[in-house]
Structure 1
Amino acid sequence: MSPRIFVTGATGYIGGHATDVLIASHPEYEVVTLVRAEEQGAALRAHWPQITTVIGTLDDEKVIKEQSAKADVVLQLASSDHIPVVKSAIAGLAIGGGKLIHISGTGVLNDMSTGAGKSAPKVYDDIKDLKEITSLPDSAFHREVDDAVFTTGAQSNVPTAIICPPLIYGVGQGPLKKRSMQIPFLSEAILKRGRGFTVGEGKNIWDHIYVGDVAKACIVLIEEALKPHGGSAQWGPEGYYFVESGEFAWKDVAAKITEIAKDLGKIETADVDELSVDEASKFHPWAPVLWGGNCRSRATRLRSLGWKPEGPTVWEALPAMVKAESDAL
């Protein structure tokens, strides 16, 4: 029988792109996706005629458990902050014997200890710093769900892996949502303000990854999951995978967005202002988190499996992203 992959989040940005790459890479797989309504299902099936869709939400324990029990792999890309879907998926996998791959995010590392807009020196490696990463306080973003994956998986004897990407850029190639968050939100704010800005000095550092390279990370782990004994991948407490291709200072991104917006004729100046947290928060309530802190990780574990980033650089992708925001306004 063909491997069966149950995907949550295929209607979204990361999930849509990952499902597209999954089907292109492995047309022999049986892919089942969760949708909230038949209209979404029809849109996905029009784009991918070979898939099966099931209707439900992340809170539908019966649906999630039933589909997970039938799956060789559950690819949970719908939410980094929803504990019930993780527990329901693991309950089903405990029956069927499959594995869980869950999406998290390096917001868990967000560091503003030096102040908003200032760089912080700490870089987390997903092998040598694993114990520290998985012992972060519950107040850290995504931390409670990460812990639920580890603890519930161990209790149910279900192999689990967490993919933890940083800022994701690029236009998605799924059929519905094609927009990421941090760069589009900043582009929109700059376009509406008419001038570029940073939170504080903008010297704070984030790592980043192209959306297609996140999708390829999912494929690598699915392929390993389907091999005897989980292949060369690590599962459970050591199954924690950063996925990154480099890092930038936010002031450089803000400057480039502003330059592109000026070249498009959408704003009159390429000047970039330094705003306080309160001032920046007027343009988005999450400004301190989105653009003011530091998140620095190294994807050593994933690279050991042969994964490497191959997509366009963030600088190559920015013009299309800014234009998309400009066209939408």
Structure 2
Amino acid sequence: MSTKTKIFITGVTGYVGGFVLERLQNHPDASNFEITAMVRSAQKAEEFKKSGVNAVVGSFSDAKLLEDLTAAADIVIDVVDADVLEAAKIMLRSSKRRFQETGRPQVFIHTSGTGILADNAAGLKTTDVIRDDANPDQIEQLPPTAFHRDVDLEMIQADNEGYVGVYFVTPGTIYGIASGTFVDAGLHHKQSIQIPALISASIDRGRAGMVGKGVKIWPNVDIDDVADLYIDLYNAIKANPDAVGHGRDGFYFGLNGEHVLYDVSKELGRVLVAFGKSSEEEPTTFTKEEIDKYFNGLDYFGTNSRGLANHSKAIGWRPTKTTKDFLESIKPEVEEVLRRRL
């Protein structure tokens, strides 16, 4: 008699996690999955249960619960905050406990981000440095102080110890208005964080903004494409785990185009004028006070982050949306932000 694959997924009420959960439920092997999700809301947990998900009420602060849910899983898909080091340590401790009990390394798909590639250009210069996800030596050169890097390094160390196989889904700027069963039911977010934050700040100041000269370059990826990457990675691991890199060789970039911030802000300015929210299309530079106010003092929108998704494509990932689609998504993103502000 076959045993079901036990999957523990975090972040299902977030933007990406809900999409990944829906992909899992529509997977050809879905009847063989036993999916558990941890959510904060008891009401949302009941709704997820109606779709066959074992939804447990809790959060990353519930250490014992997080340990038990992680230890019970064959596969962990972590689609929540990439910077919660203590939660990562708790989950890895559980993975180790499971290995000691079963002798089988757990598959752990963790969400990082191309913030690991970011520099400190402050929007004043671009860069020719482009890192390839298929080249672990390039990634290993990243400083431990890089965004998300403390969690990534903790997980790589665990992979080195052999009790867990860690795979990093590493998206760029994710865009697109979410749609689907769970988002339509109000169970997870419709928008990402980065572009809506830029939009909200620009609306508030009455003009599209940018950091520095707006020359920074970042990668982008459509929400549907990046959700596919999680499933393509799962499929590749299942088909031939020995052929799929993990640990230091386990980075899979989610990107299918690059954008210059000025171009994004210029398109945003055009849309804001069309909606009567600005009188000028040309973006202007955020002041230090505005960066403090809108972005917690971080000049994240001034950093460069450039990469190649050769590793992701080698496992069969085939993204379809490009930077043209990204720029065309600005208008519906603005419409959604305005709708939420009513």
d(CA) in 2 for partners of 1:225, 1:80: 22
Query: Are residue 100 (structure 1) and residue 108 (structure 2) matched?
Result: yes
Deviation digits for residues 116-150 of structure 1, max 9, x if unmatched? Answer: 3321221111123x223224222111111000111
Cross-structure match for 1:17? 19
d(CA) in 2 for partners of 1:178, 1:117: 32
Cross-structure match for 1:324? 336
Q: Secondary structure at the match of 2:134?
A: coil
Gaps of 5+ in 1: none
Query: Are residue 120 (structure 1) and residue 130 (structure 2) matched?
Result: no
d(CA) in 2 for partners of 1:319, 1:25: 32
Q: Secondary structure at the match of 1:45?
A: helix
Q: Closer, same or farther in 2 for the Cα pair 1:92/1:224, shift >3 Å?
A: farther
Contact in 2 for aligned 1:232/1:305 (Cα 8 Å) = no
Query: Are residue 232 (structure 1) and residue 228 (structure 2) matched?
Result: no
Cross-structure match for 1:252? 263
Cross-structure match for 2:175? 169
Given residue 307 of structure 1, which amino acid in structure 2 is its aligned partner?
A: W
Contact in 2 for aligned 1:76/1:103 (Cα 8 Å) = yes
Q: Closer, same or farther in 2 for the Cα pair 1:125/1:275, shift >3 Å?
A: same
Contact in 2 for aligned 1:184/1:322 (Cα 8 Å) = yes
Contact in 2 for aligned 1:16/1:172 (Cα 8 Å) = no
Q: Secondary structure at the match of 1:207?
A: strand
Greater mean deviation of Cα atoms: 143-152 or 89-98: 89-98
Contact in 2 for aligned 1:72/1:226 (Cα 8 Å) = no
Q: Closer, same or farther in 2 for the Cα pair 1:41/1:117, shift >3 Å?
A: farther
Q: TM-score scaled by structure 2?
A: 0.87
d(CA) in 1 for partners of 2:329, 2:242: 34
Q: Give the aligned length.
A: 323
Residue 176 of structure 1: how far off its partner (Å)? 2.1
Contact in 2 for aligned 1:150/1:237 (Cα 8 Å) = yes
Q: TM-score scaled by structure 1?
A: 0.91
Residue 327 of structure 1: how far off its partner (Å)? 1.6
Contact in 1 for aligned 2:208/2:272 (Cα 8 Å) = no
Q: Secondary structure at the match of 2:7?
A: strand
d(CA) in 2 for partners of 1:42, 1:117: 49
Residue 286 of structure 1: how far off its partner (Å)? 4.3
Contact in 2 for aligned 1:61/1:88 (Cα 8 Å) = yes
Contact in 1 for aligned 2:256/2:321 (Cα 8 Å) = no
Contact in 1 for aligned 2:130/2:306 (Cα 8 Å) = yes
Gaps of 5+ in 2: none
Deviation digits for residues 164-189 of structure 1, max 9, x if unmatched? Answer: 11111112344222221111011111
Deviation digits for residues 229-271 of structure 1, max 9, x if unmatched? Answer: x153212221111110110100000011111122223323313
d(CA) in 2 for partners of 1:151, 1:278: 40
Q: Closer, same or farther in 2 for the Cα pair 1:93/1:226, shift >3 Å?
A: farther
Q: Secondary structure at the match of 1:222?
A: helix
Root mean square deviation, CA, Å: 2.0
Deviation digits for residues 276-304 of structure 1, max 9, x if unmatched? Answer: 44554443324511x11111111110100
Cross-structure match for 1:288? 299
Query: Are residue 186 (structure 1) and residue 188 (structure 2) matched?
Result: no
Q: Secondary structure at the match of 1:4?
A: strand
